[in-house]
Structure 1
Amino acid sequence: MKNSSQRRVEEFTAGYYGLCAGGGMLSAGTTHLAITPLDVLKVNMQVTLRRLQSYFDFTLNVFVNPMKYNGILSGFSTLCREEGASALWRGWSGKFFGYGVQGGCKFGLYEYFKTLYGGILVDQRKGVIFFLSGASAQVFADVALCPFEAVKVRVQAQSSFAKGLADGFPKLYATEGLYGFYKGLLPLWGRNLPFSMIMFTTFEHSVELMYHKIIQKRREDCSKAQQLAVTCSAGYAAGAIGTVISNPADNIVSSLYNKKAATIMQAVKNIGFANLFTRSLPIRIAIVGPAVTLQWFLYDSIKVFSGLPTSGGLRRHLKDNELLSYEAVP
């Protein structure tokens, strides 16, 4: 590990947490922007719009139609044929800015809470600290994301709603008020809290496993390329496992935002308990696994460029004569 004099920013300082937030914002925003076509297909696999004329009035019914999009390739073909290739990039601004803000909060606050809880819960197992840190960071990250997600899902699934954030925000506020931006916050927490807790914990344990059991060298003795390879491997495992855990809530979020259901219980009833776990799962794994891997790679590349160690592990810091020292937690 480099000496403190070789680092551009010291760990456990305001500058360090700011760097982590900036790295999280850049990595999450760019990766989510890159996978916008997959996300558009995922949302449309979960909900399809159809207008039905009743005897007395016109109503818009939103319902799940898994047969229309029964695969990734056929789904892309259907979307392009019916709505044009540009439809694949609907909601790109919500993906870039919304998940950029969320990523900044999530990664920056995770590092902060991991240091905070590591100093308070000195007798707790590391897994408990990782769980609590991931959950604490995600609570704030989802509050920041929720308005962007509300507009993004509408734009992606309802082509007539708005073109993007610029016209989507005022339109949603005019029709539903502030509640319209946050009515999906609870299911969003239900989706992202388990995902974040599992993702960060899986990542941390995967990093430890690879250094101790596979590479069998200390992080400090590995090259930058080796460290980033560990980051990518642990990131993919974290993303895949977290996706399976969070899939039911992801289906509920899409149902609520697209007015298929008014409440969480109604959404569960309409979708079906078994379908909560299976619907859109393959495409979510295709989206989230590589996206999380790329996020961790970009995030840790920024750390390495700044002279910091890659992510993973729990360190406590003590101040002694104005110098920071680091103690590895067993």
Structure 2
Amino acid sequence: MQNMFPTLTTLTHAFGGCSPFAQHHSEPQSQRIPSKWLARHELYPAWSIGDDGKNKAAQLSDAAVAEFEKASSKAQEKVGKIEMYSPKFYAACTIGGVLACGLTHTAVTPLDLVKCRRQVDSKLYKGNFEAWGKIARAEGFRGIYTGWSPTFWGYSIQGGFKYGGYEFFKKFYGDLVGEENFHKYKTVVYLTASASAELIADVGLCPLEAVKVRMQTTIPPFAKTTLGGISTITGKEGFAGLYKGLYPLWGRQIPYTMMKFASFETTVEMIYGYLPGSKSDYGKGAQTAVSFTGGYIAGILCAIVSHPADVMVSKLNANRQPGEAFGAATSRIYKDIGFAGLWNGLPVRIFMIGTLTGLQWMIYDYVKIFMGLPTTGGAPPVEKKN
């Protein structure tokens, strides 16, 4: 009796590459006769959209890399070879810090706006989307970016001093303790160098941070421009009014930066330690991917460590009375909000700072690559065998 079911060979010829069964061919592919039942792929261009998209993305990526290499070569020719730890090196690191911090902090202004307002009044909004909706309806789309100008200028200044200063102090303290002790106590060097850099950087950030926080926490904003905000504060409180938040800013930023740099260096070292081969075996793209990963992890830790101080900075800049002492203002605010209030807005800040810190390290290391310098961090030193 003839079998009424189709054989595997018939199914294979009928459905071509769509068959879920394994295909076994003894003859070479070039000698196979295609089935007349096979669909003509040229009649169905939608089938290849995915492949076309991948090919175009690869072409764009290759073109972008080529343009980056071309621009990098021109910049290096114009500047000349940059020796490590030379004035040119520190200048390049400073520029990298300006771009890394200024651009990223400005980009997350909408998140920062909601965070600051919820820290000052936790009942103001129930969530981010509700907040942005209310702000957009009341103040227009520009209202969502309230405070972007002092944010950009303040964190550009801070970023330049922070990253450039960190590279300087890391070398300074490393030379002070000697090479052998540096490898033994490198985490202490990272912590000390980052704290020293941030101490200076915050002096440049503080006036603009005061303007930013007041812009974001007063409804409607007390000033429309950065210069207008500075004039308003100095007119009412004098020049000292711009720096009344310096101590809490140090309390927030110094632990934040110490965690940011030390945990980044440690995380990047661990990543390269787990990866096969050494850091030099990986291309620029892979190295910056490691920088982003290390930066994101560092950012999460930074957000947790510095969040109570961040809440106090927002409260002091928004609610401190003229002439009120720092200690008295801090005690008054703590009585109002309690310990739990110090953690208002933490989930938003973890997401914001994690993303922001990862992007900062990626941008910073891209600038280093652009100028022909090695990326930050690396694998642990190879132990010398006796």
How far, CA to CA, are the matches of 2:317 and 2:335 in structure 1?
Answer: 16
Residue 268 (structure 1) aligned to one of 321, 334, 342: 334
State the one-letter code of the partner of 2:339. F
Contact 2:271 2:290 in 1 (8 A): yes
Instruction: Compute the displacement of 1:312 (Å).
Output: 1.2
Contact 2:278 2:379 in 1 (8 A): no
Contact 1:231 1:300 in 2 (8 A): yes
How far, CA to CA, are the matches of 1:114 and 1:186 in structure 2?
Answer: 24
Partner of 2:231: 170
Mean CA deviation greater in 157-166 or 145-154: 157-166
Alpha carbons of structure 1 residues 133 and 328: separation in structure 2 relative to 1, 3 Å: farther
How far, CA to CA, are the matches of 2:383 and 2:98 in structure 1?
Answer: 28
Question: Highest Rg: 1 or 2?
Answer: 2
Partner of 2:271: 210
State the one-letter code of the partner of 1:68. L
User: Gapped runs of 5+ residues in structure 1?
Assistant: 48-63, 316-326
**Aligned: 1:21 with 2:105:** no
Partner of 1:141: 201
Residue 188 (structure 2) aligned to one of 112, 128, 132: 128
How far, CA to CA, are the matches of 2:363 and 2:382 in structure 1?
Answer: 25
Partner of 1:61: none
State the one-letter code of the partner of 2:96. G
* 3-state SS of paired residue (1:258): helix
Contact 1:118 1:314 in 2 (8 A): no
Partner of 1:324: none
Instruction: Compute the displacement of 1:314 (Å).
Output: 9.8
Residue 240 (structure 1) aligned to one of 277, 300, 310: 300
Alpha carbons of structure 1 residues 259 and 230: separation in structure 2 relative to 1, 3 Å: same
Partner of 2:147: 91
**Aligned: 1:180 with 2:246:** no
Contact 1:187 1:264 in 2 (8 A): no
How far, CA to CA, are the matches of 2:234 and 2:382 in structure 1?
Answer: 49
Contact 1:31 1:291 in 2 (8 A): yes
Mean CA deviation greater in 239-248 or 267-276: 267-276
User: Gapped runs of 5+ residues in structure 2?
Assistant: 1-75
Q: Where is the helix percentage greater, Structure 1 or Structure 2? A: 2
Partner of 2:8: none
* Length, aligned pairs only: 296
State the one-letter code of the partner of 2:133. S
How far, CA to CA, are the matches of 1:99 and 1:194 in structure 2?
Answer: 17
Please list every run of at least 4 consecutive aligned residues from structure 1 whose deviation after the TM superposition is greater than 3 angstroms: 5-8, 327-330
Contact 2:272 2:379 in 1 (8 A): no
Contact 1:36 1:91 in 2 (8 A): yes
Partner of 2:114: 41
Instruction: Compute the displacement of 1:274 (Å).
Output: 2.1
How far, CA to CA, are the matches of 2:177 and 2:148 in structure 1?
Answer: 41
Contact 1:314 1:329 in 2 (8 A): no
**Structure having greater relative contact order (Cα 8 Å, sep ≥ 6):** 1
Q: Where is the strand percentage greater, Structure 1 or Structure 2? A: 1
Residue 347 (structure 2) aligned to one of 282, 285, 300: 282
